[in-house]
Homo-oligomer: A and B are copies of this chain.
């Protein structure tokens, strides 16, 4: 367990903005992460020499590039290239005003991102070769892009000569990061797209982004086609252990899912897939490994080992996506086997590493990931919540689909239900489950240990609800909808055993964040915001979540549904190379805490089974 990197303070002038960043980050990245535009055409690779800033206070040694970019007087005066200036001590930085205003887009949890995608297009007009200027075709192109230091994707060479000559030496160079991936005839700089993928275990979402404006153009979602192999990651990993063909099959299904999403968004937007030059994918470690055909078995058995935490040099075709044949793929890195790229993307989108407030990020699922911290320090852990919140182990449980009870209220005038699509109910989804239990407890019909009150006590307290409590096959049930009231002629109920299932899940999660608070050295009351990630978080009632002790007891307004933050992180990575570096930096910034190691974990877990009074 590392303590994470030290932090330094950067004050940007004339913006008057003071930020704390991990020691060693470049001034360039630090500025962009915090919405302060710095001139650059190369995107911070040290080649364009445009990101000139002056270190007004504090000191940064001059790099070799600085010695070429500045006069000795300027160097003495503190001028440096921001991309080469690593902040290892606190600094005050004067940032010259930009001649053109950079474009920015709002993504993530209210994050303002300065548009500087890894995908760049450059219109170049070359001089025709002559017997006295026999430079090679590619040299001629590279000489026209001499503010970039590029590697050449070999297939570019195949058609280069023909393209240059047919286009009469006016072409558009397509660069992704530091790689030249295509030369297109004429001026195509107006069109550049990317696709942000959120590849969830259950659902996959693709968003087509216009990289010239930062705007989302089309969205598509569908069930992850790997569903037949099981609902959760463990069942998919198990499949690969039992059947040697399964890995290939699961990879193909991930590819087919991503491919169909890509086709769909391009069709919706009416653009050619050839104009999409990059994809960014956020997914948990198992989804990412399966999509890349990487054997996931070590993720599924102790000590839970990743093949790799980060991915380089991937093509979109490695993910089965048919867009521009040389399009690149960025796959979010993983902190650990159970805190994967989806969480890194989510933390990026939430800006947790750049916020002064102490915030708690909870992604509820079969595996629940928890991140706690602020711009100074971040800690993460994973809690095995089990399938209760996805309602899979709940007797009348169902997905959040038409007919699912999603809101339950027990008021003075009795039981009230809200059903998705306002139809007669056929089951209970996760948010309804939490509501039902929270309401039973709040109204005194269930004690703190989770037991329904004895029938006599209920009859005395709430005679209007007494007949909804029945006993069947030795188990007590709370009937939410009778066979007559339901949409399929079958009772919809909550069983005593269902309550137990939820208690286990809730206890795993609350033990997780409580122990994380201890490790962090702070208290529940200090938490200024709770971010609930993922689709479950979108529907959950904050009041009920507090009621059962799933989240800290803080004002309801501070419990925020953050939506699909993994997908938002993927968009940010497409729109900004700097944000992408930020995602990579999170691996060093977030300290992973293994809670199951702790001797007192089981005691604490048992304590957490009870509902708060």
Contact = CB atoms under 8 A, between A and B. Distances in A.
A205 to B, nearest CB: 24
Chain A contact-residue range equals: 35 or more
Interface stretch (A22-30, A135-143, A456-464): A135-143
Given A313-B151, A318-B154, A594-B131, A308 B136 contact: yes
Interface string A282-320: 000000000011111110001111111101111000100
Contacts of A307: 136-138, 157, 160-161
Contact of A292 (B130, B153, B158, B337): B158
Contacts of A603: none
Contacts of A151: 312-313
A336 interface: yes
A470 interface: no
A131 B298 CA distance: 12
A134 interface: yes
A528 interface: no
Given A129-B303, A306-B137, A158 B294 contact: yes
Given A137-B305, A303-B134, A297 B154 contact: no
Interface in A123-155: 129-139, 151-154
B308 A152 contact: yes
A38 B24 CA distance: 36
Contacts of A154: 292, 311-314, 318
Contact of A138 (B135, B308, B313): B308
A482 interface: no
Ranked 8 nearest A-B pairs via Cβ: A136-B306, A161-B298, A138-B308, A131-B303, A157-B307, A162-B295, A161-B295, A129-B305
28 contacts: A129-B305, A131-B302, A131-B304, A132-B597, A133-B303, A135-B305, A136-B309, A137-B306, A137-B307, A152-B312, A152-B313, A153-B313, A154-B292, A154-B314, A157-B294, A157-B307, A158-B294, A158-B295, A159-B295, A160-B294, A160-B295, A161-B294, A161-B296, A161-B298, A161-B305, A161-B307, A162-B297, A165-B297
Interface of A: 129-139, 151-154, 157-162, 165, 292-298, 302-309, 311-314, 318, 336-337, 594, 597
